[in-house]
Amino acid sequence: MSFESSYPTAVFCIIATEFCERFSFCGLRTILSIYLRNELLFSENCSTVIYHVFIMICYIVPLAGAVCADSILGRYSTILYFSFIYLVGNILMCMGAIPILELSSITLSAVGLLLISVGTGGIKPCVAAFGGDQFRLPDQKDLLQHFFSLFYFTINLGGFVGMILTPILRKWVSCFGDDTCYALGFGFPAALMVLSLVLFVMGKPWYRLKTPKENVMLQFFKCTMYALVKRCKSRANRNKRKHWLHTARDKYSGKLISDMKKVFAVLFLYIPLPIFWSLFDQQGSRWTFQASHMDGNVLGIQIVPDQMQVVNPAMVLILIPIFDKVINPWFLKLHVMENALHRMAVGGMFASAAFLSAGVLELVLETTYPKQPEQKHASVNIINTLPCDVKVANPFNGVQKIVTGGMHRFENIVCDNYTKYTLLVEASEKCGTIYFGRHRHNLEVFAEESQTDTVLIGINTENKIQSFITDPVDFQKSLSGKPRIRIAYIKSSVHLHDVKVSLKNQAGFQDIYFVHSSNSSFLADSAYMELPQGIYDCVVASREKPILYKESFNLDLGGVYSLVVRERNMKIEFFKLYVMSQPNTINILWLLPQYFLISVAEILFGVSGLEFSFTQAPKSMKTVTIAGWYLSVAIGNFLVILITQANLFKSQAQEFFLFAVVMIADMMVFIEMASNYKFVQLEADSSANFPNQEQIPLIQNSANNVN
């Protein structure tokens, strides 16, 4: 095999190192939000904010990593030192999840996450650039392009395996008396970081190392400020034909200014890129929420919404070799998408198509969603638990008849903040076996804006008709896709004690709701519970009677249910399951088209962007352009937070369509900017005959001091 056609041995050590690092990071990230909510007891909103801040820091720190690599430490030493920081953060996260250590879990986790974000952020801009350094250019230009495809393949493979294996370790292993083991979930990524460090150091004999000869970044910033100040002062003599950096020629070298012009030309093209990442990163938020509204049953296997996140890296793993070996060479023969900028623009269009697909799917899903009250309106459910029909005189439609066991919803009644309504509920004096002492009841409803309340019509201990108001209905489907159920228990007997309602499915899963004791009629209302899908045997029992009532019913994926039980004279007189939100009916596989489109977009955009960032930067500043690439990802995450908090649309489909249109407009701007870009030729290596130049800077400085 010729020299130009063989991969440098060092590349394989770098690839293996990156696989372990991505496995570690993606595995930790997958279980992080659940850990914050379930173990550290943060609210869901707070957990979400912490998660996104963590991700943002991970993509901001690359700027510091770039400065260290290009100006102070060199790429090898920067990766090495930041990896140690990364490892310490992993160890602290693991220690924080071990309760027997009696250490502050929140403090350890906060410090651990900060160190991990600094560690991974410092490494990010260096690994790809360091891998590119191993090729001798321009002789191995074609191999370099294949390397970036292989590098991106490794990123997705490590992330894919980590996203699957780490949650399994956390969930299937019990430790410290808990049914989950977050210590193992965080400990295994820590072990992977140790392996990553070992593999990286083992490859040193084969690395081509480059030591920064001067503080390039300091010169970069000084020259930039000098040129800007001088440019502003000499507005009258400004020559529009010359680059604004030319004003610094009297103080700085022409080589530095030439290199800076190349960097600014690249960074200028990065301005539209955050829009792409704001779309791409919604796979873990908006698209996961969308999946929670769908039926996850596929060939008898239950797919939960969180697991759909692995579809993207799985597709990327399949598509990268196809693009690398088939599609890209075919396009080159046709003289189509010949350079990285062309491929990035097409990738942006595929991202827009992905969100058009998501919007169309969301329109279909919206037909299955429950109707929520409009602004300045509320809704009220009336459930009749009596053995006879009732009439409800009301100001909405006059008189409404509700059959026994029936539910009627008064939708979108006018409500300004809080509005009081009085309804008259009337039953016959003889209602089934009940002889009412009072068969009419004035029902006062305090409607709250944008809320749906439920009123149960029943009977009290004095044989008088009475109403019971439950907690507001929560129509929200669970993020996991599991059915949600609450129990409303009307108790009127003082002779039953330790009443409980137990739910048990065929797999042996059991949930028990205990009804507290009281000496009068009352309503016991449970919170919503998430249960696995399936058929449940429901048993109502007490200390006096082991089985008061027994019935079976089915809970389907995505359904939101209310189980209403009414007891009187030590008997269960009413038992019925009501569907508040219809179960999911649209199969989760309908998400695959948008995942396919976003995966194609990622390959065209992500792989090409990394290649462009490396090949178009001068040798002394390659890490800087890659850091700028990652900074665009951080800004994209920030845009997601802003748009999410703005709540601009009532319909999620409208938001998806907006993103699709904005992405098209953004790519039009990018294409116009890219059309004026002039590609630079790859610089030949001046260090081709000088491998292993770089030394550990701390050791090198000590030696210099001795001399």
**pLDDT tens-digit map of 69-104:** 877 788 888 889 999 999 999 999 888 888 777 778
Confidence label for 695 from pLDDT (cuts 50, 70 and 90): very low
402 near 382, Cβ under 8 Å? yes
| Count of CA atoms in the C-beta half-sphere (13 A) of 645 | 10
Q: Is the peptide bond before 138 cis (omega within 30 degrees of 0)?
A: yes
546-590 residue pLDDT tens: 899 999 999 998 899 999 999 988 899 999 999 998 898 899 999
**Candidate from 167-171, 204-208, 632-636 with smallest mean pLDDT:** 167-171
Token pair, residue 174, equals: 């019990």
Mean pLDDT, residues 303-324 taken together = 82
Q: Which of 627, 631, 634, 632 is nearest to 613 (CA)?
A: 627
Confidence label for 678 from pLDDT (cuts 50, 70 and 90): confident
| Residue 667 phi, psi dihedral angles, 5° rounding | -70, -30
Q: What percent of the chain has pLDDT over 70?
A: 89
**Candidate from 143-152, 456-465, 494-503, 690-699 with smallest mean pLDDT:** 690-699
Query: Can you name the CATH fold of 480-581?
Result: Immunoglobulin-like (2.60.40)
Given a cut of 50, whether residue 421 has pLDDT beyond it is yes
Confidence label for 596 from pLDDT (cuts 50, 70 and 90): very high
pLDDT: which is higher, 297 or 402: 402
429-445 residue pLDDT tens: 899 888 888 889 898 88
Given a cut of 80, whether residue 234 has pLDDT beyond it is no
**Candidate from 37-41, 204-208, 245-249 with smallest mean pLDDT:** 37-41
| 97-106, 271-280, 347-356, range with greatest mean pLDDT | 347-356
Token pair, residue 525, equals: 């209302």
> What angle is formed at CA 337 by the lines to CA 331 and CA 343, rounded to 5 degrees?
120
Confidence label for 692 from pLDDT (cuts 50, 70 and 90): very low
| 171-175, 413-417, 448-452, 536-540, range with greatest mean pLDDT | 536-540
CA–CA gap between residue 663 and residue 605 (Å, rounded): 13
Looking at domain 371-473, which CATH architecture does it have? Sandwich (2.60)
| Count of CA atoms in the C-beta half-sphere (13 A) of 251 | 12
pLDDT at 384: 94
Residue 303: DSSP 8-state = P
pLDDT at 238: 56
CA–CA gap between residue 346 and residue 609 (Å, rounded): 12
Confidence label for 480 from pLDDT (cuts 50, 70 and 90): low
CA–CA gap between residue 141 and residue 138 (Å, rounded): 5
Q: H or E segment at 524?
A: strand 522-525
Beta-sheet pairing, 549-555 with 440-448: unpaired
Residues found in the chain: 707
Given a cut of 80, whether residue 110 has pLDDT beyond it is yes
Token pair, residue 20, equals: 């372990």
Confidence label for 521 from pLDDT (cuts 50, 70 and 90): low
pLDDT: which is higher, 333 or 82: 82
Residue 452: beta bridge partners? 379
77 near 702, Cβ under 8 Å? no
35 three-state secondary structure? helix
Q: Which of 659, 643, 652 is nearest to 52 (CA)?
A: 643
151 near 21, Cβ under 8 Å? no
pLDDT at 407: 95
559 near 571, Cβ under 8 Å? no
CA–CA gap between residue 485 and residue 530 (Å, rounded): 7
| Residue 545 phi, psi dihedral angles, 5° rounding | -130, 110
pLDDT: which is higher, 33 or 4: 33
CA–CA gap between residue 640 and residue 400 (Å, rounded): 46
CA–CA gap between residue 17 and residue 320 (Å, rounded): 20
**Candidate from 328-337, 614-623, 683-692 with smallest mean pLDDT:** 683-692
Mean pLDDT, residues 308-321 taken together = 85
CA–CA gap between residue 554 and residue 577 (Å, rounded): 10
pLDDT at 691: 39
Given a cut of 50, whether residue 700 has pLDDT beyond it is no
pLDDT: which is higher, 610 or 115: 115
603 near 347, Cβ under 8 Å? yes
Query: Model's pTM, two decimal places?
Result: 0.75
CA–CA gap between residue 32 and residue 10 (Å, rounded): 33
Mean pLDDT estimate for the chain: 82
Mean pLDDT, residues 591-607 taken together = 92
Given a cut of 70, whether residue 273 has pLDDT beyond it is yes
Given a cut of 80, whether residue 681 has pLDDT beyond it is no
The string of DSSP letters for 586-601 reads: SBGGGGHHHHHHHHHH
CA–CA gap between residue 499 and residue 490 (Å, rounded): 11
Given a cut of 50, whether residue 702 has pLDDT beyond it is no
pLDDT at 519: 59
pLDDT at 209: 79
Q: Which of 588, 487, 580 is nearest to 536 (CA)?
A: 487
CA–CA gap between residue 18 and residue 475 (Å, rounded): 43
pLDDT at 329: 84
pLDDT at 525: 81
The residues of the chain that CATH labels 2.60.40.1120 are 480-581
For 398, left (φ over 0), alpha (ψ -120 to 50), or beta?
Answer: left
Place of tokens 């593999």: 199
The residues of the chain that CATH labels 2.60.40.2890 are 371-473
Confidence label for 241 from pLDDT (cuts 50, 70 and 90): low
136-191 residue pLDDT tens: 766 666 777 777 778 878 888 888 888 888 877 776 777 776 667 888 888 888 88
Given a cut of 70, whether residue 630 has pLDDT beyond it is yes
pLDDT: which is higher, 602 or 239: 602
Given a cut of 70, whether residue 106 has pLDDT beyond it is yes
Given a cut of 80, whether residue 38 has pLDDT beyond it is no
**Single-letter residue type at 24:** S
pLDDT at 667: 93
pLDDT at 155: 83
pLDDT at 50: 80
For 2, left (φ over 0), alpha (ψ -120 to 50), or beta?
Answer: beta
pLDDT at 563: 94
**Candidate from 467-476, 574-583, 615-624 with smallest mean pLDDT:** 615-624
Superfamily of domain 1-213: MFS general substrate transporter like domains (1.20.1250.20)
pLDDT at 517: 66
Confidence label for 240 from pLDDT (cuts 50, 70 and 90): low
Place of tokens 């809320």: 451
CA–CA gap between residue 518 and residue 83 (Å, rounded): 61
Q: What percent of the chain has pLDDT over 90?
A: 22
Confidence label for 53 from pLDDT (cuts 50, 70 and 90): confident
| 38-52, 119-133, 160-174, 208-222, range with greatest mean pLDDT | 119-133
Given a cut of 80, whether residue 380 has pLDDT beyond it is yes
Mean pLDDT, residues 251-266 taken together = 84
